[in-house]
Structure 1
Amino acid sequence: MSNCVLGIDPGYGRMGYGVVETKNGIAHCLTYGCIETPATMVLPDRLYAIHRAVVELVREYTPRLVGVETILFQKNVKTAIAVAEARGVVLSAVAAAGVAVVEVTPTEVKQALTGYGKAEKQQVQYMVKQLFRFTKVPKPDDAADALAVAIATEGQGRF
């Protein structure tokens, strides 16, 4: 097992991931990106594609811990259910690999990155950019959000 955290920003069309390792108190981004599933795929196939991708990320980076953001209130119930199902697939894949999971709320992520639990999304993304000394905010937004989840997970002393 390595000394890194895998952060996940749940979704079923696009799920962000970010892998962060801390050395001597300094966070380093190992990788980030998105697991994307086309809308033309049926939901079970999309969920299986997410499962395979998460298993591969865990296999490649061997994180000590995986942080998964909890779901915000969704006005669209159908979307909320699909995101919850995708999130469940992630939790199951990580548990099957024997890696501990930490669930973090959006407020905890905002608090960890900006010091203010009601910060705007742009403020969190700016802090991700600054923390990793990126020249610009990682795109898509889901990837930047996943890096923020990884940092929040580590920052809660659960690393």
Structure 2
Amino acid sequence: MRRDVRVRLDTGHSSGCTVAYVSGDLDFGNAHEMVEEYFRLAGTADRPTRVVLDFEEVGFLDSSGIGAVVRLWKALRDGGGDLGIAHPPRICWVMMTRTGLARYIAMGQTVNGVAARLAPPRAPSRGGAHPRDGRSGPPGEHRARAARAR
């Protein structure tokens, strides 16, 4: 039985972050809803810049779900913010680690713990150094630049 994704963006803050409580399956059929909900909120005066996704109630996550997380992370990063994931399902840990995204998106078992690891808000920039590892640009871009330099 398929469960629809539900995204509730809690405007209450935890360590200065907006917490988005996500429940259900985050897959090909509905992953876009999470990103759309963020962009809807981004158009308001309460535009979040530091967001923790609470995946405690997420039952399943596929590559489309990871893609939605990456889109959200890029939008936040480009706007001077950061993204983290609390209570990620095991498959999320595995996919984020294998793809290298775990170096860029904080993950942990508590909302407060993840919120504490997020970068402080900064001026919007594209491709600036990421606060967690100092590399510039999105994942993999440093390898492409190194290859072009050869």
Give the TM-score taking structure 2 as reference length: 0.39
The structure with the largest helix share of the pair is 1
Looking at both structures, which has the greater relative contact order when contacts are Cα pairs under 8 Å and sequence separation is at least 6? 1
Give the TM-score taking structure 1 as reference length: 0.37
